[in-house]
């Protein structure tokens, strides 16, 4: 079977047709705008031995755009949308994409769909709209745009975008598209889901891995990010995390600080559909980004979380967490989250050096008014301790507040508390509930004053939540 030779990643095939690199270079030397666009595509998708060179991609596309090449206009829009070789500019991206789409450039039709799918738009011209995204995608599919067909296959596989989930059909379509067009995006999807039964052809898997590996070697950021995730999924974080960080550092619109978001599945859900997060990877990336000097609030937040809420039985890293918490406290929109972390730092009874129940309780009670979930911390302070230290009355009063939410963990703890309390103690717990523990002034005002007196916060911190 002659499948593998023509599926090699550096074999010189582009969308099913042979490519002559020397012929293209001759056209480039002559200043042919069409050749510039073709080269930009090769570089953008790390194809045929052409390295990923974002600055040069934009330069060539700008020249071709000025010569009226509508495909160049569409890909230039993509550069501004993704921040490839330029600072991300959603307004400029939408302007260029509209221009190209209404001149019936097929790729621009697909890009319009992607723009309406994104939650990252900083422009009123394009806002998140699954309905409009679906309409543009249908138009692009009718125009025979390969990327549109890939998006449709992914939607079918995952059950997104209004499509009924059909993994078998989605996988078969992806494989067919890869065999026809050797598309990097499809190769990434297939490699990432290699353990799924729907992708069981080893020849195709090896061809896809070859395609992705070659793209990563050539500097393709999505390929590096995807391989990084594959390594992380297999527990090889030492290999995977640096690849993820390097990939995101190369994306000017998403600096290394946002690698955390990407791994956690936030921004990645729309902008990087092959980067699917897990908490261990998120923590590892946060620590890696912090070690590299990243001080974005996102990095600080997830680094603290990795220290305080470790996975895989790792120990808590108090010494690392404490200074970062105080750094986070200086950022107004993060101050209450940072204060919550400070309480968590001091709430574990088994950690004698850091345990300070009085301080932790004051923090949690004062902070309880600033987020719906924060009162739970008061209950956990008194529940997640040795049984002899538990305050079942306070725990019962707080968990009763969340009973209607139906969370199994809260309901189980509420049941434990109810079983431990006698009639007189239940009456005291009911009294706390009637007095709106811990949210009322009776409890929050003393906690607020305690924190100020002890220098934990100052009088610039609000007492009430400001909407």
Taking each helix axis from N to C end, the angle separating 375-383 and 408-420, rounded to the nearest 10 degrees, works out to 50
Global model pTM greater than 0.75: no
Cα(234)–Cα(238) distance, rounded to whole angstroms? 11
* Separation between Cα atoms, residue 379 and residue 383, nearest integer Å: 6
Residues contacting 298, CB < 8 A, separation 6+: 257, 258, 260, 261
Q: What is the dihedral of CA 131, 132, 138, 139, to 10 degrees?
A: 160
Angle at 171 between CA 166 and CA 172, to 5 degrees: 105
Question: So what's the pLDDT on residue 466?
Answer: 67
Cα(228)–Cα(220) distance, rounded to whole angstroms?
Answer: 12
Contact (Cβ atoms closer than 8 angstroms) between residue 254 and residue 267: yes
pLDDT for 297:
75
Residue 16 is predicted with a pLDDT of 39
Domains, in order of start, for the chain:
12-135 (1.25.40.10), 373-467 (no CATH)
Residue 395 near residue 417 (C-beta atoms within 8 A): yes
How many other C-beta atoms lie within 10 A of the C-beta of residue 143?
15
The C-alpha atoms of residue 151 and residue 170 are separated, in whole angstroms, by 10
Task: For residue 226, give the DSSP letter.
Answer: H
The β-bridge partners of 14 are 17
Residue 268 has a pLDDT of: 41
Give the pLDDT score at 342: 97
d(CA 381, CA 145): 56
User: Do 254 and 83 touch, CB atoms closer than 8 A?
Assistant: yes
Q: Tell me how crowded residue 271 is: count the other CB atoms within 10 A of its CB.
A: 22
The parts of the chain modelled with pLDDT lower than 50 are: 1-18, 252-258, 260-261, 264-276
Q: Quick one: which of 255, 348, 346, 336 has its CA closest to 301?
A: 336
Average pLDDT over all residues of the chain: 84
CA–CA dist 212, 206 (Å, integer): 10
* Residue whose C-alpha is closest to residue 95's, from 77, 69, 121: 77
3-state secondary structure string across 375-438? HHHHHHHHHCCCHHHCCHHHHHHHHHHCHHHCCHHHHHHHHHHHHHCCHHHHHHHHHHHHCCCC
- So what's the pLDDT on residue 216? 87
Rounded CA separation 172/17 (Å) = 22
Q: At what angle do helices 21-29 and 33-44 cross, to 10 degrees?
A: 130
> How far from each other are the two terminal CA atoms of the chain, in whole angstroms?
66
Q: For residue 14, what is the DSSP state? A: E
Count Cβ atoms below 10 Å from residue 129 Cβ, excluding itself: 14
Whole-number Å distance between alpha carbons of 192 and 274: 7
Running DSSP on this structure, what letter comes out for residue 69?
-
| CB environment 338-369: b (16+ within 10 A), e (fewer) | bbbbbbbbbbbeeeeebeeeebbbbbbbbbbb
- In terms of Cα–Cα distance, which of 350, 356, 292, 354 is closest to 318? 354
DSSP per residue, 120-173: ---BTTB---HHHHHHHHHHHHHTT-HHHHHHHHHHHHHT-TTPPP-HHHHHHH
Burial class (CB within 10 angstroms; exposed 0-12, middle 13-18, buried 19+) of 168: exposed
pLDDT for the residue numbered 15: 42
- Chain-centroid distance of CA 107 in Å reads 26
Buried b (16+ CB within 10 A) or exposed e, 211-225: bbebbbbbbbbbbbb
């Amino acid at each position: 079977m002659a499948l593998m030779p023509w599926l090699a990643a550096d074999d010189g095939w582009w969308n099913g047709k042979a490519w002559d690199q020397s012929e293209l270079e001759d056209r480039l030397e002559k200043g042919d705008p069409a050749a510039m666009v073709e080269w930009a595509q090769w570089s953008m998708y790390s194809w045929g031995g052409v390295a990923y060179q974002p600055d040069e991609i934009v330069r060539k596309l700008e020249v071709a755009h000025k010569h009226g090449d509508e495909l160049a206009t569409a890909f230039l829009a993509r550069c501004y949308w993704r921040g490839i070789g330029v600072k991300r500019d959603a307004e400029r991206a939408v302007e260029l994409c509209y221009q190209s789409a209404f001149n019936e450039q097929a790729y621009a039709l697909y890009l319009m769909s992607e723009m309406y799918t994104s939650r990252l738009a900083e422009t009123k011209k394009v806002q998140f709209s699954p309905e409009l995204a679906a309409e543009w995608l249908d138009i692009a599919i009718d125009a025979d745009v390969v990327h549109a067909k890939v998006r449709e296959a992914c939607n079918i596989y995952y059950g997104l975008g209004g499509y009924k989930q059909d993994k078998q059909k989605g996988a078969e379509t992806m494989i067919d598209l890869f065999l026809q067009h050797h598309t990097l995006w499809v190769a990434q999807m297939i490699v990432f889901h290699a353990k799924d039964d729907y992708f069981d052809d080893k020849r195709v898997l090896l061809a896809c891995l070859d395609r992705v590996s070659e793209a990563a070697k050539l500097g393709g950021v999505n390929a590096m990010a995807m391989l990084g995730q594959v390594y992380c999924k297999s527990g090889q974080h030492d290999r995977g995390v640096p690849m993820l960080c390097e990939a995101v550092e190369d994306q000017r619109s998403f600096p290394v600080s946002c690698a955390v978001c990407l791994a956690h599945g936030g921004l990645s859900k729309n902008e990087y559909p092959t980067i699917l997060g897990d908490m261990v990877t998120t923590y590892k990336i946060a620590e890696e980004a912090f070690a590299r000097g990243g001080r974005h609030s996102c990095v600080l937040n997830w680094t603290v979380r990795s220290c305080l809420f470790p996975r895989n039985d790792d120990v808590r890293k108090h010494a690392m967490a404490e200074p970062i918490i105080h750094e986070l406290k200086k950022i107004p929109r993060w101050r209450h989250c940072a204060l919550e972390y400070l309480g968590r730092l001091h709430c574990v009874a088994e950690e004698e050096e850091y345990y300070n129940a009085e301080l932790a309780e004051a923090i949690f009670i004062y902070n309880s008014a600033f987020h719906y979930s924060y009162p739970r911390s008061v209950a956990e302070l008194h529940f997640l301790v040795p049984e002899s230290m538990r305050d079942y009355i306070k725990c019962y009063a707080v968990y009763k507040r969340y009973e209607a939410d139906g969370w199994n963990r809260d309901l189980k703890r509420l049941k434990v508390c109810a079983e431990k309390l006698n009639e007189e103690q239940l009456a005291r717990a009911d009294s706390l509930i009637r007095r709106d523990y811990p949210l009322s002034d009776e409890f929050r005002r003393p906690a607020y004053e305690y924190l100020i007196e002890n220098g934990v916060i100052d009088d610039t911190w609000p007492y009430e939540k400001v909407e």
